[in-house]
Amino acid sequence: GENVEQHPSTLSVQEGDSAVIKCTYSDSASNYFPWYKQELGKRPQLIIDIRSNVGEKKDQRIAVTLNKTAKHFSLHITETQPEDSAVYFCAVPPYGNNRLAFGKGNQVVVIP
């Protein structure tokens, strides 16, 4: 099956600094790459996604970059704020279908 890995598992940043977390996947046929944010006890929320025909997408302080050749995509959060503290999951649909395989998650802690 699809192998999805996230690094680092935990990331602490000072408020105002940038955070970058990376997701690698194994299936070269994958064409959709979302990032979800999950706060404790809450549902995962889709925060940004990218299709395989573009290399970068930005939405205010959040951006996602995709490197299909190397099979990885990264989440960039600029000007971090305490409310950005959460677990972030990347996901990839294996074999081009609409199921999602999730990575193990990155715990991001923004220190005020």
Partner 1 sequence: GAVVSQHPSRVICKSGTSVKIECRSLDFQATTMFWYRQFPKQSLMLMATSNEGSKATYEQGVEKDKFLINHASLTLSTLTVTSAHPEDSSFYICSAPTSGSSYNEQFFGPGTRLTVL
The footprint of partner 1 (CB under 8 A) covers 31-32, 34, 36, 41-46, 49, 51, 89, 93, 98-105
The residue (of 9 and 18) whose beta carbon lies closer to partner 1 is 9
The residue (of 34 and 80) whose beta carbon lies closer to partner 1 is 34
The residue (of 41 and 112) whose beta carbon lies closer to partner 1 is 41
Distances (CA, A) of 79 to 30, 51, 53, 70, 99: 30, 25, 28, 27, 33
Smallest distance, Å, CB 105 to partner 1?
5
User: What b-and-e string marks burial along 47-56, b requiring 16 or more CB atoms within 10 Å of the CB?
Assistant: bbbbeeeeee
Smallest distance, Å, CB 15 to partner 1?
24
The residue (of 85 and 103) whose beta carbon lies closer to partner 1 is 103
| Residue located via tokens 């549902």 | 43
Smallest distance, Å, CB 16 to partner 1?
27
Distances (CA, A) of 73 to 16, 42, 79, 82, 83: 23, 24, 20, 24, 23
